[in-house]
């Protein structure tokens, strides 16, 4: 089994995540899909680190995890606030910032 299969998996996971972000309306689900995309990229980074035999990809993967953790904190807080004011978590309902 070649190492490139991890890359295929990463691509599939990223596509699923992206499709979820674009197609789902529920903010929580969109959020989870974003996490899925981030982890798909993490998988790709780690795989590349393995292929090239150095640690650069792994280090970047750690950075991505840290940023993702911070993002979750902020993002969930926003979603909770929106839900409190608008009684909805649909991203299409929160469309006030426009022309």
Partner 1 sequence: MSFPYAPVLAAAEPASVAQASGTADLTWLLLAFPIAGAAVLLLGGRRTDRFGHLLGTLASAASFVVALVLWLDMAGRDVEERATIQKLWTAIDVGRFHVDIALQLDQLSMAFVLLITGVGTLIHIYSIGYMAHDPDRRRFFAYLNLFVAAMLLLVLGSDYFVVYIGWEGVGLASYLLIGFWGRNPAYATAAKKAFVANRVGDVGMSLAIILMFTTFGATDFVRVHAAAAGAGEGTLTAIGLLLLLAACGKSAQLPLQSWLGDAMAGPTPVSALIHAATMVTAGVYLIVRSGPIFDLAPTAQLVVAIVGAATLVFGAVIGLAKDDIKKALAASTMSQIGYMVLAAGLGPAGYAVAIFHLLTHGFFKAGLFLGAGSVMHAMNDTTDMRRFGGLRTAMPVTFVTFGLGYLAIIGFPLLSGFWSKDKIIETAFHEGGVEGWTLGVVALLGAGITAFYMTRVMVMTFFGPRRWAEDAHPHEAPAVMTAPMVLLALGSVFLGGILAYGGMLQDWLEPVVGGHGEEEGVTTLSPIVVTLLTLLVVAGGAAAAYLQYGRREVPVVAPVGSPATIAARNDLYQDAFNEAVLMRPGQYLTRSLVYADNRGVDGAVNGLAALIGGTSGRLRRLQTGFVRSYALSMLGGAALVVGALLLVRI
Pair 20, 36: CB distance under 8 Å: yes
DSSP 26: B
User: Which of 55, 95 has the CB closer to partner 1?
Assistant: 95
What is the length of the chain? Answer: 99
If one asks whether residue 49 binds partner 1 (CB under 8 A), the answer comes out as no
- Which of these ranges, 2-10, 20-28, 40-48, 57-65, lies near partner 1 under the rule CB under 8 A? 20-28
Pair 75, 49: CB distance under 8 Å: no
- Distance, CA of 36 to chain centre: 4
User: Which of 1, 15 has the CB closer to partner 1?
Assistant: 15
If one asks whether residue 98 binds partner 1 (CB under 8 A), the answer comes out as yes
Where do contacts with partner 1 occur on this chain (CB under 8 A)? 18, 21-23, 25, 30, 91-92, 94-99
């Amino acid at each position: 089994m070649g190492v490139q299969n991890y890359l295929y998996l990463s691509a599939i996971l990223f596509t699923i995540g992206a499709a979820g972000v674009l197609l789902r309306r529920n903010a929580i689900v969109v959020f989870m899909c974003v996490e899925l995309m981030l982890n798909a990229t993490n998988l790709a980074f780690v795989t590349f680190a393995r292929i090239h035999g150095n640690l650069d990809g792994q280090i970047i993967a750690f950075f991505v995890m840290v940023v993702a953790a911070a993002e979750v904190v902020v993002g969930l807080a926003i979603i909770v606030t929106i839900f409190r004011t608008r009684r909805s978590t649909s991203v299409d309902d929160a469309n006030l910032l426009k022309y």
